[in-house]
């Protein structure tokens, strides 16, 4: 799979690729009738993607699978990150449904039925979503005699931009990532970032809070075009935290800026001066998630180059084992 090109897509995948966020979000936004028939605790996040290479700069799909009483249910989440609605979303979803069906047939060659799909579009642009919500609305003219031959389906829409802050539901981590997406186009992004930092302080798992903090800062530096590195450092200095892990990251981030004057996004800022700190951070996260790393693992991480450390740090968000992180 090609790398996703935009900061919006990256933040979405880093956030909604976390199982705890996916569970909490779906618990609040799936229809009650559907929730009554599935077991969300069986949720798995698929590594499959059905976005074609030419559309990956505009779309980021995530596929969740949960157990249904009649078999597996596949839930698609399509993230639309443009500042204006996408008219052809229903057509794009049709392509996903066909691609998923083909993939399922290959994985289950003896199957004669396909699992159901619940398409959910998440939108956070500036303008109101006015795209056709039913595939048949894209067809004209459509004489009644042709209706049986044209697919008819719709999709659920979660329009974050149309909701008030109070209408953003979920636990603190789920609300935080939704508010971050809602506020990314704010005229006062630095003030909104300050509000988000306050929410991060409420995340109980500090390793998770650290990961979200890093992802959030990168998103607002790269995604707004109006937040500079020196503004972020000044904001962090005004928001001290007593948590040792969080403070270590903040201190290193601020000090790095003072010494090297980095004026680029956090993702591009992981260079030689960051290597030792990134290795230490990754080791802390491994210790929190999988237990104390062995000496060979420590040596492998401390000697890794910055790009490898970045890749491993991204994997730890959803990995189920240490081998999955370091493979």
- pTM assigned to the model: 0.71
> Where does residue 286 rank: exposed (0-12), middle (13-18), buried (19+ CB within 10 A)?
buried
DSSP per position, 130-142? -S-SBGGGG-SS-
In a domain, 10, yes or no: yes
The answer to the question of residue 206 being in a domain is: no
* Structural domain contains residue 17: yes
Mean local confidence (pLDDT), 296-310: 83
Q: How confident is the model at residue 181 (pLDDT cuts 50, 70, 90)?
A: very high
> Is 56 within a domain?
yes
Q: Which residues contact 216 (CB under 8 A, 6 or more apart)?
A: 11, 176, 180, 193, 196, 200
Please say whether the beta carbons of 125 and 86 come within 8 A.
Answer: no
Q: What is the pLDDT of residues 110-164, one digit of tens each?
A: 999 988 888 889 998 888 899 999 999 999 999 999 999 999 999 999 999 888 8
Q: How far apart are CA 324 and CA 148, in angstroms?
A: 47
Domain presence at residue 136: yes
44 belongs to a structural domain: yes
Range of the domain at 99: 1-174
65 in Cβ contact with 41 (< 8 Å):
no
pLDDT at residue 57 tops 80: no
227-255, pLDDT tens digit by residue? Answer: 887 888 888 777 766 666 666 777 666 66
Q: Is residue 266 part of a domain?
A: no
Tell me the average pLDDT across 84-105. 86
Q: How far is CA 19 from CA 229, 238, 300, in A?
A: 30, 32, 27
Does any domain span residue 268?
Answer: no
Of the two residues 289 and 144, the one the predictor is more confident about is 144
How confident is the model at residue 266, as a pLDDT? 46
**What mean pLDDT do residues 277-299 have?**
81
The Cα 153–Cα 308 span in angstroms is 43
Q: Which of 11, 41, 55 is nearest to 160 (CA)?
A: 11
The domain tally of the chain equals 1
pLDDT at residue 153 in the model:
92
């Amino acid at each position: 799979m090609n790398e996703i090109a935009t900061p919006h897509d990256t933040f979405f995948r880093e956030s909604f690729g976390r199982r705890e966020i996916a569970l909490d979000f779906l618990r609040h936004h799936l229809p009650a009738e559907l929730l009554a028939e599935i077991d969300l605790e069986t949720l798995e996040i698929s590594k499959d993607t059905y976005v074609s290479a030419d559309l990956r700069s505009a779309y980021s799909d995530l596929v969740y699978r949960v157990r249904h009483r009649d078999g597996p249910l596949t839930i698609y989440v399509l993230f639309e990150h443009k500042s204006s609605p996408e008219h052809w979303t229903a057509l794009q979803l049709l392509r996903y449904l066909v691609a998923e069906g083909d993939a399922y047939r290959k994985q289950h060659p003896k199957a004669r039925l396909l699992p159901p799909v619940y398409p959910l579009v998440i939108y956070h642009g500036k303008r109101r979503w006015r795209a056709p919500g039913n595939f048949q609305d894209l067809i004209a003219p459509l004489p009644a005699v042709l209706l049986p031959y044209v697919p008819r389906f719709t999709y659920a829409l979660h329009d974050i931009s149309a909701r008030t802050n109070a209408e953003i539901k979920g636990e603190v981590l789920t609300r935080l990532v939704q508010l971050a997406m809602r506020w990314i186009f704010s005229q006062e992004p630095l003030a909104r970032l300050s509000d988000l930092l306050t929410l991060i302080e409420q995340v109980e798992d500090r390793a998770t809070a650290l990961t979200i903090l890093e992802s959030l800062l990168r998103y607002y530096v790269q995604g707004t075009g109006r937040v500079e590195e020196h503004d972020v450092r000044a904001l962090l200095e005004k928001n001290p935290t007593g948590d040792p892990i969080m403070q270590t990251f903040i201190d290193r981030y601020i000090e790095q800026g003072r010494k090297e004057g980095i004026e680029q996004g956090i993702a591009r800022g992981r260079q030689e001066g960051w290597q030792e700190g990134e290795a230490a951070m990754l080791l802390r996260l491994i210790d929190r998630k999988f237990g104390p790393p062995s000496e060979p693992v420590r040596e492998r991480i401390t000697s890794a180059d910055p790009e490898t450390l970045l890749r491993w740090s991204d994997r730890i968000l959803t990995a189920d084992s240490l081998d999955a992180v370091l493979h």
